[in-house]
Copies of this chain bind each other. A is one copy, B any other.
Amino acid sequence: MASRRSIESPVEMEGVARAENVDPGALASLVKSGRVVIPFNTRHKGVRPKAIGEGMTVKVNANIGTSRDVIDVDLELEKVGTAIAFGADAVMDLSTGGDIGEIRRRIIAACDLPIGTVPVYEAICQSTRKGGPLEMTEDDLFRVIEEHARDGVDFMTLHCGVTSESVRVLRKANRLTGVVSRGGAMLSAWMHENELENPLFENYDHLLDLARDYGFAISLGDGLRPGSIADATDAPQIKELMIMGQLVERARYGGVQAMVEGPGHVPLDQIETNVRLEKAVCKGAPFYVLGPLVCDVAAGYDHIAGAIGGALAAYHGADFLCYVTPSEHLSLPTVDDVKEGVVASRIAAHAADIARGRSRDWDDDMSAARKAFDWEKMFQLCVDPAKAREYRRRKGKEGSETCSMCGELCAMKIVDGLLRD
């Protein structure tokens, strides 16, 4: 085994530390210890690095990407612009349709946020075109990973914890919804068909070499995450998490930044446990959660179910929220869905930041503007100024003296004199 390497980041710490309002030396230590990850591939020109993890503000990721049915790069670029405009901190390109490489390169060029991908999607799409999805070879997969790295991808979801061992636990688990992670499903089907171990696990040291050489961060994908409340926090999920805990340690030993992905569908009473378990088992590695959704019946409004779960997860220590859009479980997101998803996740992340003692200035400024009836300032401070303006505009009597927040009966005006006496 090679000797221990230090996690080195090419990032200029001063700027990131300033954005987070923390000490640059303390930030560098957290990165070295693996408790904070800054995905940053030097080949991604102009990327604004973001610190994810302990003591940092909660970050939000927006997923975009083509499918076989809808291949329109301009549409995806519009989604990227929307995600940036509404305050996402990262974008993942999950494209599975068209010239995936070309699409990715255009997205990377257009996006100054860290970009993540799931290379196994492209590898499977390529082998599907050549013959069948399960004909993918280990070399195919690693060639795609290296191409993503060369293109400037800042972090990659790699389902290294889907192993013969965790799949054995899965097969005994009698789940309601089986496997709902596409990467997890592809890899377990591939392993089963070819009677081989997961190449991402088998060749993890080679993966670490690539990550270190190209400078991308590894996001350990939770391929066996539960897809329903009934399956939450079950044996396959925990088994995979334990494997990921070992892989985090190997990444740190190898000088590679790693974070851990989490569920999924989790009832409110299990969210704190899930976060504390990940932090314990994975030795404080940044926790990147999808939602989590706090019920299964909110299709059409899963961004709300995800905001509830995300806020609570982040309050208890989750570091990075993958947004959920209203189209989850129904169709691929439109530009408007991207907006709805980013805004909902941003509200969740910000609520957690307030509760974790980060700056409340934004809220205090808003409340002071509200008290002063300074509508222009309120609009500017809203998560979505255009929507706020539109809601205020529609009140019928343009320019009416009443603010129509509560009709004519304004508590703040009524009591204003009283409190000033």
Contact = CB atoms under 8 A, between A and B. Distances in A.
Contact of A407 (B179, B188, B332, B391): B332
A186 B294 contact: no
Contact of A408 (B69, B178, B383, B417): B69
Contacts of A297: 350, 362-363, 366, 381-383
Interface stretch (A136-144, A148-156, A223-231, A245-253): A223-231
A419 interface: yes
Contacts of A270: 355
A408 B96 contact: yes
A106 to B, nearest CB: 19
A148 to B, nearest CB: 17
B419 A370 contact: no
Interface string A151-194: 00000000000000000001100011111111011101100100
A404 interface: yes
A344 interface: yes
Interface in A111-134: 121, 124, 133
A214 interface: no
A134 to B, nearest CB: 9
Given A297-B383, A382-B300, A67 B414 contact: no
Contact of A308 (B96, B171, B176, B311): B311
A355 to B, nearest CB: 4
A331 B294 contact: no
A188 to B, nearest CB: 6
Contacts of A192: 418, 421
A2 interface: no
A416 to B, nearest CB: 7
Nearest to A413: B185
B228 A344 contact: no
> Interface size bucket, A side?
35 or more
Interface string A290-328: 000011111111011101100110010000000000110
A297 B363 CA distance: 6
A384 interface: yes
Nearest to A402: B69
B300 A388 contact: yes
Nearest to A269: B355
A281 interface: no
A332 B296 CA distance: 31
A364 to B, nearest CB: 5
Interface in A357-405: 360, 362-364, 366-368, 370-371, 378, 381-384, 387-388, 391-392, 394-397, 400, 402, 404-405
B179 A347 contact: no
A315 B269 contact: yes
A124 B409 CA distance: 10
A387 B329 CA distance: 12
Contact of A305 (B268, B334, B347, B381): B347
A1 interface: no
A133 B409 CA distance: 10
12 contacts: A68-B402, A69-B396, A121-B409, A182-B414, A192-B421, A230-B363, A299-B388, A299-B391, A326-B391, A331-B391, A331-B394, A332-B395
Given A124-B409, A185-B415, A304-B304, 8 more contacts: A97-B407, A121-B409, A175-B419, A189-B415, A267-B354, A296-B362, A311-B312, A327-B391
Interface of A: 67-70, 96-97, 121, 124, 133, 170-171, 175-182, 184-186, 188-189, 192, 227-231, 267-270, 294-301, 303-305, 307-308, 311-312, 315, 326-327, 329-332, 334, 343-344, 347-348, 350-352, 354-356, 360, 362-364, 366-368, 370-371, 378, 381-384, 387-388, 391-392, 394-397, 400, 402, 404-412, 414-419, 421
Counting from the closest, the 4 A-B pairs by CB-CB distance are: A67-B407, A228-B367, A185-B411, A268-B355
